[in-house]
Structure 1
Amino acid sequence: MPITTKEDETIPLIVSIDVGTTSSRVILFNKLGQEVCKHQIEYSTSASEQDYTPAGRRRHSEELNATTLKEATTTTNSTTAVTTNSQTNGNSNHHNNEKDVTGPIFSSVGFKIEESPYLTIEDLVENHTVGPTLRFPKPGWVECNPTSILINVLECLGAVLQALHITNESRIRHDLKPYKIHCIGIANMRETTLVWSKKTGLPIVDYGIVWNDTRNTSIVNEKKETTDPNLQERLTEKTGLPLYSTYFSCSKLRWFLDNVPEVNEAYMENDLMFGTVDTWLIYHLTKQHNFVSDVSNASRTGFMNLNTLDYDPELLQYWNIDPTKISIPKIVSSAEYYGDFNVPDFCEKIMPPTIRQLLLNFVAQKVPINGCLGDQSASLVGQMAYKRGAAKCTYGTGCFLLYNTGTEKLISKHGTLTTLGFWFPYLEDDFNINKPHFALEGSVAVAGSVVQWLRDNLRLVARAEDVGPLASLVPDSGGVVFVPAFSGLFAPYWDPDCRATIMGISQFTTASHIARAAVEGVCFQARAILKAMSSDAYSESRPNSHDGKDIEDIDLLEDVDSCTYEKSVFSTLSVDGGMSRSDEVMQIQADILGPCIKVRRSPIAESTALGAAIAANMGFKDVDDRPMWKNLQDCKKWVFFNGIDKSDTIPREQHPNLKIFTSQSKDTIRRKHWKLWETAVSRSTGWLKDVENR
């Protein structure tokens, strides 16, 4: 039987599509920030020993049930595959007793799909049959299959649609209001560079270059050696980014044009489209094929001017990109109408029939895609770090720290970079919340991936969650220092020629010491970034001196009396992501940071996905049209306080995952360990360059 209900007889949900470096997931959030339904697919890789599935990834759930599909084909809102028992059987009081809550449209041009000499439907089918989603063809090279990622997203969405249908049937039987999906938000890994054909919408080649790929090292090194320092400084002021990092999209696109004949041919024929993952998804998941990129993603390409929030002709010229020969997405805000959800024709042809039918039923509902944020900006929003001075750290594949500087753009002098935090133009309050918000950012290339390395390569542990307990078997690393620079060091060092190094090994060293040193390597880099951010923010307010001392002479994390975190910058670091779930790892982080900063673990496990849902909610111009929260303050009230008026503390029974970690380390020991880290970094940097020059 189809589920047909009136609008005021349903409970609103928002779909969040979260595309990460190693997996894709789709989550349905309710007003309390709870996950009603969730489905995740972990990517297969070229290093995987498992067989590839037709979509080039490992399955995380059973195939969709054909019987359920038959019932769901006429429903209005079907959904997912992974649903907790408390969410389906009515055990969650907050869940079931929820109360009902009841922009300028951009003019970017869609593109007609035609035949093309590049990849064909048959090619795509073949690639999905035999190839992984992630490939590592050479040392330092990381590639993703754009079409496989798109299929993963659609399959995840199909799975949650099925599960939602099952959940709604159960709720109706128990006289509870069913759920209804109102809009879609997207969070995605940034900088990853994709190229496709304007004529067909299909990739020019069957891979994109992932953000942590370093194949463009020679390009950035040559630019660095041949560019006038004054020009370097001017361009950095425009972008807020270090000009010569392999991290950003500009040099990756240049590599494509210089090294792949098919890409250069499309460029010369004006058939080349460039975009990051957000653009790729929105282009293919909207009926109009809208070609846009939100500011938080566009600011990471190296082509956008932070002052104009548009592409800068000088930056394009610097990378020798002719904008008349290539289609570049229009830059838009993080929360506005991007188009109604749609399933691309070529995806229909290569998807399982069950999922295809579920999605086509969903297309008929005309659900808008209303929000988009780069993953770290999404995490900033999901952590409720809306105000100037808030700081967050996400421990994912990499480790990413953002410090909200509000509407003020700070250009770092200490190795961090400037990025767009978010832009929600339809919000209104007294704090310019509807203006673009900037952030200082520091990135660690390796965080959760070092845990994966310990598990899969060294086989020190059987499960990733065992690393924390193993590291805690010893009080310290026993003099071992692990610099986990598998793809170079990012902020604040910015050395692509650095490589992972383990120092200080002796016969005393055990597996526990190695594990602890690996965890500490991530935490030490987080400390270095926080110190750099503090220096930038403090220098902005008192640029010349501090109590008669030059700012550079102060150890901002060690001298408690002059600690800027405590006085004028920040005293709390909000954390989320996989490694943050380990009490042992977060205590190590707090010990390394010292007494100036307390570490607060987010009560929301999927902060990045939640941030995308919040952006989608705020993408409705009229406040009465926003399905779950009126504004950001209302969102925090419901997600952090379960609808209770603001209070100083969050009851543990409401959010058992919330926990505060404070330093238990002695000053002398902490400073000695920091000195060991700095020494190890100095001996690891430039390593690859020195070797290749011999």
Structure 2
Amino acid sequence: MTAAAPTGATEEPSEVPLVASIDVGTTSSRVILFNMLGQEVSKHQIEYSTSASREKYAPVGKRRHSVDETTAAAAGGGSDSRRASRASPPSPAQPIFSAEGIAIEANEYLEIEDLERPSVPTLSFPRAGWVECNPLGILAHVVQCFAANLVSVDRVNGSRVSNGLAPYRIRCVGIANMRETTLVWSRKTGEPVVPYGIVWNDTRTSAIVTEKRNSTPQAVQDRLRAKTGLPLYSTYFSCSKLRWLLDNEPAVRACYDAGDLMFGTVDTWLIYHLTSNRAFVSDVTNASRTGFMNLDTLVYDDELLNYWDLARDKVNLPRIVSSAEYYGDFALPECVRTNLTPVAWSLLTDFCARTPAVPIQGCLGDQSASLVGQLAFKPGAAKCTYGTGCFLLYNTGTKKLISSHGALTTFGYWFPHLENEEHAQPHFALEGSVAVAGAVVQWLRDNLRLIPKAEDIGPLASRVSDTGGVVFVPAFSGLFAPYWDASARATIMGMSQHTTASHLARAAVEGVCFQARAILKAMSSDAAGEGRKDRDFLEEVADGTYEKAPLSMLAVDGGMSRSKEVMQIQADILGPCVKVRTSASSECTALGAAIAAALAYEKREDRVLWKDLKDVKKWVMYGGTEPGNRPPVDEESFRTRIFRSKSIDTERRRKWKLWEAAIERSRGWMNIVEQSTHDNATAKNM
């Protein structure tokens, strides 16, 4: 698909510029090539093999979604079976859970050529609560995906040129990645010190963070949290993971004592190995998740390093950089050569030899990348990704806010070369998560069998105008932000003989939407400032202007966002202050990294895809259409749909009070169960 020519163009372009986006997630890696419309020109994805899947696993997952599926196979190759594995024997498939209780399915695929060859899984679960990744495996997957896209584009370009069309050309590369995952390698060799990295949702550091909490005065805790924006005592972040490696892996400790230890998250690992200058950097959105960076100074803080007993002269920390600047030219790491066919290796070698060289110059942590890919650039804009759970980010602009409601403070993005002074400054965000979203739809489908397919939930819920008084609190694994009650459990209240499957379906959907509202209410209260936190800003319209309210727009993506019925329910629950907007792309995270890379050029004239954030919106959301020719804001745009509340004020507020009452009744249930079990055991022993 060819991108439309910029307004005023009088001749066909000699080439169609593309930006490549590397997107490394928890269970897969992908590389996507985007044009200026934000459309996917080529895509290749590899699902990770795991040690918690089926009886056998393979180093290279099932390939999918490239322009030419037959050419993609040419990029494949086996992983290096000589690398040691710490994986436990394969066990039956089961979900793993994040620190927020969000389920992550362990995926595994087999290919014919891999059946006879034992291999190292990309994800391993050696003990309960432990989640490890293979750093070299991730690197190999990324290069394989990149090669597959080159194979596809090479074929497509041959056809395009023969038909008189301009060929595609990759101009720059961006990276999005799972955050907090901790990797260590040797400065001398570039090889991992241990053959695994600790993934963000690993919980092995529980004892470390508990000891820290018990031994740290409250005043110190408050001061350190103000510096990092993070809860100090979560297993989520990189700081405790690095401490665990130093305390438990002799090889890591020896490397540290010798001053040879390099620490980084996935972005740092990839950029280091994929740049010709071995750039050792981490962008602010990733560095802010380590627990070592000061949000005000944008550098590693001595007090934070000392708190985790780290010596600056013994551990090499990546230089903290912006999300959009030149890091280095794309290079091919020799260590993955055995993972590629000769054809793929030759194409990559030619790609790296291009003049001018192709730079890697965009980097964002996955949730920040999603915020950018959702085009939520204005302060007061928020995004919600509806997966198994929900991740919500709220753009607070250049203002750093430390939440009093349990949200995290993080960076949204930093694009320093934009001409607008405010847009060129680092942008902060508040982050919160909902443990159960799509999981409740799966529960209705698989456990209660109310629907045959997940996409049937919207139509079923819309058969009734309300829940008939039913309230469903889907706290299957406790309540998270902003309630934070691990002892709570799911409850369904208010049922009668009148209750139908449609009432239950609607109550389940509303339960997800009410949780999202609760987080957004807390975030808007944080944004409003001290002294105004008891007000419900989602119930106030500021002169009818969304941009003047603490929260103006919720951009949505993910499975549930594809249901117009569900999104209308979400808009009705949020009320008239907030509009809900579906995403312009199904790959918001990868698109965000692509936008960062395209805006990294210092000179405006060098930005051949988009000139600035306004230009990004023009092309990605409106297909290049000028403002005067666009549909009204309440109508569906070229690539998005807008939902606004149709609810009656009194009815919406009544339902919110019912929700809050249901929350109170669901709290503390497991405490009661445990006490009852204890009392029963005591009675039997008497």
TM-score range, shorter chain: 0.7 to 0.9
Return the alpha-carbon distance in structure 2 between the equivalents of residues 232 and 356 of structure 1.
51
Match of 1:482 among 455, 474, 489: 474
CA contact (8 A) 1:556 1:562 kept: no
1:472 positional shift: 5.3
Gaps of 5+ in 2: 1-10, 88-116, 680-686
Amino acid at match of 2:583: S
Amino acid at match of 1:655: F
Quickly say closer, same or farther: Cα 1:67–1:568, change in 2 above 3 A: closer
Aligned to 2:557: 576
Quickly say closer, same or farther: Cα 1:447–1:22, change in 2 above 3 A: farther
Does 2:396 correspond to 1:436? no
Return the alpha-carbon distance in structure 1 between the equivalents of residues 399 and 674 of structure 2.
37
Return the alpha-carbon distance in structure 2 between the equivalents of residues 624 and 378 of structure 1.
24
Amino acid at match of 1:444: V
Kindly provide the CA deviation profile for residues 640-693 of structure 1, in whole angstroms up to 9, marking residues without a partner as x: 222222249547786254232435473255224422452256326889999999
Please list, as runs of the form range in 1=range in 2, the aligned pairs for 1:184-223 lying within 5 A after superposition: 184-223=173-212
- Between 323-332 and 306-315, the greater mean CA deviation after superposition: 323-332
Does 2:31 correspond to 1:26? yes
Aligned to 1:91: none
Q: Secondary structure at the match of 1:311?
A: coil
Q: Secondary structure at the match of 1:392?
A: strand
Return the alpha-carbon distance in structure 2 between the equivalents of residues 510 and 45 of structure 1.
41
Does 2:392 correspond to 1:401? yes
Identity of aligned residues (%): 58
Amino acid at match of 1:383: Q
1:69 positional shift: 9.4
Quickly say closer, same or farther: Cα 1:211–1:582, change in 2 above 3 A: farther
Match of 2:276 among 269, 287, 301: 287
Q: Secondary structure at the match of 1:9?
A: coil
Q: Secondary structure at the match of 1:355?
A: helix
Return the alpha-carbon distance in structure 2 between the equivalents of residues 512 and 260 of structure 1.
54
Match of 1:617 among 590, 595, 598: 598
Aligned to 1:377: 368
Quickly say closer, same or farther: Cα 1:49–1:673, change in 2 above 3 A: farther
CA contact (8 A) 2:20 2:170 kept: yes
Please list, as runs of the form range in 1=range in 2, the aligned pairs for 1:34-45 lying within 5 A after superposition: 34-45=39-50
Q: Secondary structure at the match of 1:258?
A: helix
CA contact (8 A) 1:444 1:525 kept: yes
Please list, as runs of the form range in 1=range in 2, the aligned pairs for 1:517-556 lying within 5 A after superposition: 519-539=509-529, 543-544=530-531, 551-556=532-537
Aligned to 2:62: 58
After TM superposition, the score normalised by the length of structure 2 is 0.81
Aligned to 2:19: 14
Aligned to 1:630: 611
Q: Secondary structure at the match of 2:525?
A: helix
Does 2:350 correspond to 1:361? yes
Match of 2:655 among 670, 675, 684: 670
1:160 positional shift: 1.5
Quickly say closer, same or farther: Cα 1:583–1:686, change in 2 above 3 A: farther
Return the alpha-carbon distance in structure 2 between the equivalents of residues 489 and 208 of structure 1.
29
Return the alpha-carbon distance in structure 1 between the equivalents of residues 433 and 516 of structure 2.
8
CA contact (8 A) 2:72 2:149 kept: no
Match of 2:336 among 347, 356, 369: 347
1:576 positional shift: 2.0
Return the alpha-carbon distance in structure 2 between the equivalents of residues 205 and 453 of structure 1.
39
Does 2:238 correspond to 1:249? yes
Does 2:388 correspond to 1:388? no
1:522 positional shift: 3.8
CA contact (8 A) 1:481 1:676 kept: no
CA contact (8 A) 2:230 2:409 kept: yes
CA contact (8 A) 1:18 1:186 kept: yes
After TM superposition, the score normalised by the length of structure 1 is 0.80
Does 2:256 correspond to 1:297? no
Kindly provide the CA deviation profile for residues 373-416 of structure 1, in whole angstroms up to 9, marking residues without a partner as x: 11122222222222322222223454222222222222222222
Amino acid at match of 1:659: I
Quickly say closer, same or farther: Cα 1:451–1:345, change in 2 above 3 A: farther
Amino acid at match of 1:310: V
Q: How many residues are paired up?
A: 629
Return the alpha-carbon distance in structure 2 between the equivalents of residues 47 and 421 of structure 1.
33
1:32 positional shift: 1.4
CA contact (8 A) 1:482 1:517 kept: no
Amino acid at match of 1:122: R
1:519 positional shift: 4.6
Aligned to 2:102: none
Please list, as runs of the form range in 1=range in 2, the aligned pairs for 1:102-501 lying within 5 A after superposition: 122-123=82-83, 129-365=118-354, 366-396=357-387, 398-429=389-420, 431-448=421-438, 464-469=454-459, 475-476=466-467, 478-485=470-477, 490-493=480-483, 497=486, 501=490
Kindly provide the CA deviation profile for residues 235-284 of structure 1, in whole angstroms up to 9, marking residues without a partner as x: 11111122222222112222333334443343334332221111111111
Q: Secondary structure at the match of 1:528?
A: helix
